[in-house]
């Protein structure tokens, strides 16, 4: 019985010694690293995607005002508007107004949007979307022609395949 007790005490002494050595080693390493390692400042810049429609007379284009390459799409809204900004209930027809749209750099889709054919870099403009507006009839009394372009941008970075383009179309609601 005494041998058994001595054997157990030896095992406990060895186990405690191993635990003590490991604790001192790990603790010492951590203490060294905490006092000797310089902090690393990670500097991340969030990507943001925005755009702005520009108008110079009858000519419209879009600027990527974000900080990352973007795909741009736009829709054109045409109305008769009075001096107070009220829209007439009857919109102009294709016979009333002729728009010259740049279909070389913009693709007209069935969803009512025009898609710029290339990504646009930050602070860069698309080529002209509308190059001329011709009013073919006199406006209704008290109204003038209102042409507005509404544009949207979506991140183009990382799109390298058809599946990437499909993800963008899905995000814009085009399946």
Q: What is the mean pLDDT of residues 94-113?
A: 90
- Whether residues 78 and 28 share a domain: the answer is no
Which pair of tokens denotes residue 92?
């102009």
- Structure pTM? 0.69
With H, G, I as helix, E, B as strand and everything else as coil, classify residue 162. helix
Give the range among 30-39, 86-95, 97-106, 145-154 with minimum mean pLDDT.
30-39
- Give every CB contact of residue 175 below 8 A, 6+ residues apart in sequence: 169
- Whether residues 57 and 92 share a domain: the answer is yes
Tens of pLDDT, residues 116-169: 989 999 999 999 999 999 999 999 999 999 999 999 999 988 776 666 667 777
Q: Which of 72, 92, 65, 69 is nearest to 146 (CA)?
A: 92
- Whether residues 81 and 167 share a domain: the answer is yes
- Whether residues 102 and 25 share a domain: the answer is no
Alpha-carbon distance of 107 to 101, in angstroms, equals 10
Domain count, the chain: 2
pLDDT for position 5: 67
- Whether residues 76 and 119 share a domain: the answer is yes
Domain residues for the domain of 29 are 1-43
- Whether residues 14 and 59 share a domain: the answer is no
pLDDT for position 13: 72
């Amino acid at each position: 019985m005494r041998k058994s007790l001595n054997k157990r005490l030896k095992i406990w002494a060895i186990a405690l010694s191993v635990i003590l050595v490991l604790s001192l080693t790990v603790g010492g390493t951590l203490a060294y690293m905490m006092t000797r390692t310089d902090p690393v400042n990670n500097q991340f810049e969030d990507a943001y995607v925005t755009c702005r429609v520009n108008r110079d007379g009858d000519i419209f284009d879009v600027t990527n005002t974000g900080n990352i390459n973007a795909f741009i799409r736009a829709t054109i809204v045409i109305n008769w508007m009075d001096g107070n900004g009220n829209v007439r209930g009857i919109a102009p027809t294709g016979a009333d107004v002729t728009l010259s749209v740049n279909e070389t750099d913009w693709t007209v889709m069935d969803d009512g949007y025009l898609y710029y054919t290339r990504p646009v870099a930050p602070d860069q403009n698309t080529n002209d979307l509308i190059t001329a507006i011709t009013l073919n009839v006199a406006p209704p009394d008290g109204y003038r022609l209102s042409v507005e372009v509404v544009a949207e941008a979506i991140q183009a970075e990382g799109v390298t395949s058809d599946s990437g383009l499909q993800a963008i179309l899905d995000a814009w609601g085009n399946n």
